[in-house]
Amino acid sequence: MMKSTLKLRRLGWAGVEIAFGNETLLIDYIQDTKPLVQLRSEHEVFLASSQPGKASAALVTHLPPDHADPEAIALAVKKNAPVLRPEPAKGTEADLALTNYVENKFSQYDLDIEFVKPWEERIIGSFKIWSTPAVCGFGDPQVSWVIECGGKKIFHSGDSIFHGSWWRIANHFGSIDVAFLPVNGPIIDFHLLQPSSSLEAVMTPEQAVEAAKILQAKLFVPIHYGSLHRPPDYVETENILARLESKSKETNTLLSIKQPGDWFELD
């Protein structure tokens, strides 16, 4: 019997596709960039799934429209495929400002939604999936994901800030084979989130490398950079790749820059 190959692909921004044999799984998959038009770089791509209508599951770290797209998910997954996501946000109009658009879109599609909290487990085909803690820069419910498949462990952390659960995740799962971690450290000034903060709303390159080190990641693939940068509303941190390379060398972390569309396999 031919052994199935585990392949991974960056889809742009935070999107990742995992393929194992004939099965695929999507994380933070989006195609609708209309809500991002005021922030998006017109040169960046948001790639489509490789097997439309056949994905075994879709995982969502949280619900701002740069991480969740119900219409795209509905077209990408097979019938009755689970869509795993955090629970809805609660609060005032300002508290819901970043998630209302996607919540309303979710209500328009017949998707098999499952709300998850940190440390829950699911088995979907060949994929064993756990939700783990994450912290959104604006307080929205958020999770990270650990996926085990083909004897490898994959970690995806959406756009989390640095937090105190990295050690707990590492203690629970042991060494991670590949960690997809956000790196763009933006300063954000949105009118519904005032007064604004001068602190980064996502991990900086240096913080992401530290997280990869704690997770004992054998390979660190940066995500969540390059696509959005429109001062003064959304100001991405500077010199991301150079800072990643410098900090990775300092900590002996194996860094691998993957362009959107790049497939790669794990040794």
Give the pLDDT mean for 92-97. 89
CB contact at 8 A, 49 and 29: yes
Count of beta carbons in the 10 Å neighbourhood of residue 125: 15
- pLDDT over 50 at 1, yes or no: no
Stretch 159-168: mean pLDDT, rounded? Answer: 98
Q: Is residue 16 part of a domain?
A: yes
- Phi, psi (rounded to 5 degrees) for 8: -130, 150
For residue 132, what are the β-bridge partners? 144
Least confident of 37-41, 72-76, 134-138, 196-200: 37-41
In a domain? residue 263: no
Closest to 18 measured CA to CA, from 49, 47, 45: 49
Q: How many CB atoms lie within 10 A of CB 52?
A: 12
Cβ atoms of 226 and 41 closer than 8 Å? yes
261 by Cβ neighbours in 10 Å (0-12 / 13-18 / 19+) ranks as exposed
Write the pLDDT tens digit of every residue in 239-252: 999 999 999 999 99
Contact 29, 72 (CB under 8 A): yes
Asked if residue 267 is part of any domain, the answer here is no
pLDDT in the model for residue 251: 96
Domain-located, residue 209 = yes
Could you give the residue ranges of the DSSP H alpha helices within 132-199? 166-173
DSSP 64: S
- The pLDDT > 70 percentage for the chain reads 98
pLDDT digit string, tens, across residues 23-35: 999 999 999 888 8
Residue labelled with tokens 């328009």: 108
* Number of domains into which the chain is organized: 1
Which among 242, 134, 223 is positioned nearest to 178, based on CA atoms? 223
Look at residue 2 in the predicted model and tell me its pLDDT: 53
Put simply, whether the predicted model's pTM sits higher than 0.75 gets the answer yes
What is the chain's mean pLDDT, rounded? 94
Read off the pLDDT band of 65 (50, 70, 90).
Answer: very high
Average pLDDT over residues 77-100: 94
Range of the domain at 19: 6-258
Q: Is the pLDDT of residue 55 over 90?
A: yes
Q: Find the mean pLDDT for residues 96-100.
A: 92
Q: Residues of the chain with pLDDT > 90: what percent?
A: 85
87, 88, 101, 82: which is closest to 30 by C-alpha?
101
pLDDT at 43 over 80: no
Contacting residues for 165 by C-beta, under 8 A, at least 6 apart? 118, 132, 133, 134
Phi, psi angle pair for 103, to nearest 5°: -60, -45
Residue 266 lies in a domain: no
Q: Is residue 153 part of a domain?
A: yes
End-to-end CA distance of the chain: 20
* CATH number, residue 182: 3.60.15.10
Let me know if residue 265 belongs to a domain. Answer: no
Identity of the amino acid at 238:
E
Q: Are 28 and 61 in contact (CB under 8 A)?
A: yes
The DSSP secondary-structure symbol of 178 reads E
